[in-house]
Amino acid sequence: MSDLAGKHIVLGLSGGVACYKAAEFCRGLIKAGATVQVVMTEAAEHFITPVTMQALSGRPVYSSQWDAREGNNMPHINLSREADAIVIAPASADFMAKLLHGRADDLLSLLCLARPIERVPLILSPAMNREMYAHPATQRNLAQLRADGAVVLGVGAGEQACGETGDGRMLEPDELLQELIAHFQPKRLAGRHVLITAGPTYEAIDPVRGITNRSSGKMGFALARAAREAGAQVTLVAGPVALPTPRGVQRVDVASALDMQRAVQASADAVDVFIAAAAVADWRPASAAERKIKKDGSGDVPALAFVENPDILAGVAASPRAQQGALFCVGFAAESHDLLAHAQAKRERKGVPLLVGNIGPDTFGQDHNALLLVDASGSTELPRADKLSLARALVTEIARRLPR
């Protein structure tokens, strides 16, 4: 993974038990290709040692504004000028109050104040007890820090080190990493609302059996993450898959094709882009048995009658908003052979401006894929790559086609 290749991150630790998460976050930054300079407050050193952070970052840790290692004795200037971003994780209530008032009595607060605001973002990941987080003073401080240009991330909810339960937990290391990677992605879909379907559908035969397919949902979930990274508001309608929801994405879980159709219809009138990446079952049993169908030893096989499922994509593409160009529709075609011919035919049949084809058996359940983009002017290949990289490339193609 090299999402942060070439980026230099100043990772600041203020006092809090969540400092243990900063260690894993630092490892994640390094694995993502970034270089990391750790700066710690005196309070942070009570929770984790500079030796640990030096070993993980591969650089000496700074904690004093009087550090003599800097030739000009100005670490607050040098460190802030070298950074592509300053991330404070954990950001304690006290430290954020200090930032709000421009106090600079230690190295970390000093370099935050000295950073070039126009090119070095300040990203804060709060961590504190639930009562401290909910206190009006803290909430006022968070609001003012945002108004002053800082990026203030959300907090997690759950058990806290003090034994209480509620809001205020620092985000997990992988969540922090996703947020930072997203921060550096171009915001090609800023101000847009994107609706995405992902995964298989499940058509019940009886209470314990059903018809589904091998779609893992990974491509659709990668698209949801990529669209959110690009600045969009994202609604993800997901069939039965065991995948974590991408950061910042609103997820609606469904089972059958009819469930998915209802969920899509509930959102389609409010979105700018619809990406139908789900592998929707073409047929469903005409009726589902209320009880498990039992075999009786006779060798007779129960007869199943099927009816065709609605075409969700074609229905949305035929809507007045789509016909008028206010809603851009993208379809997916998972084929087993003759990909170009089938994708071209499906694009015309569905009435969509862009159809994305792939060979289903080569991608179901896999982390990599290869895509064929088909539109009115021809076709373009996106060669085999990891699904997130392909999702970002597809989002770029979609953004390019949207009306300004």
Q: Is residue 289 left, alpha or beta, with left meaning phi > 0 and alpha meaning psi from -120 to 50?
A: beta
Under 8 Å between Cβ of 38 and 83: no
Under 8 Å between Cβ of 125 and 153: yes
Pair type for strands 283-285 and 306-308? antiparallel
Can you spell out the DSSP letters for 217-241?
Answer: SHHHHHHHHHHHHTT-EEEEEE-S-
For residue 355, give both structure tokens. 């159809």
Pair type for strands 250-253 and 233-238? parallel
Residue 50: cis peptide before it, omega within 30 degrees of 0: no
Is 162 annotated in the active site? Answer: yes
The residue among 85, 87, 92 whose CA lies nearest residue 121 is 85
Q: Which distant-in-sequence residues (6+ apart) come within 8 Å of 101 by Cβ? A: none
Q: Which distant-in-sequence residues (6+ apart) come within 8 Å of 247 by Cβ? A: 175, 178, 179, 182, 225, 228
Q: Which distant-in-sequence residues (6+ apart) come within 8 Å of 215 by Cβ? A: 199, 200, 239, 241, 278, 279, 334, 360, 364
Under 8 Å between Cβ of 207 and 291: yes
Under 8 Å between Cβ of 86 and 10: yes
State the DSSP code for 46. G
**Residue 283 in 3-state DSSP?**
strand
**Residue 276 in 3-state DSSP?**
strand
Under 8 Å between Cβ of 331 and 371: no
Candidate list 19, 26, 112, 162, residue with the active-site label? 162
Matching residue, tokens 């000295």: 114
Q: How far apart are CA 267 and CA 272, in angstroms?
A: 10
The residue among 188, 330, 195 whose CA lies nearest residue 272 is 195
Helices assigned H by DSSP within 17-135:
19-31, 50-57, 75-82, 93-100, 107-114, 130-134
Which positions are catalytic? Answer: 162
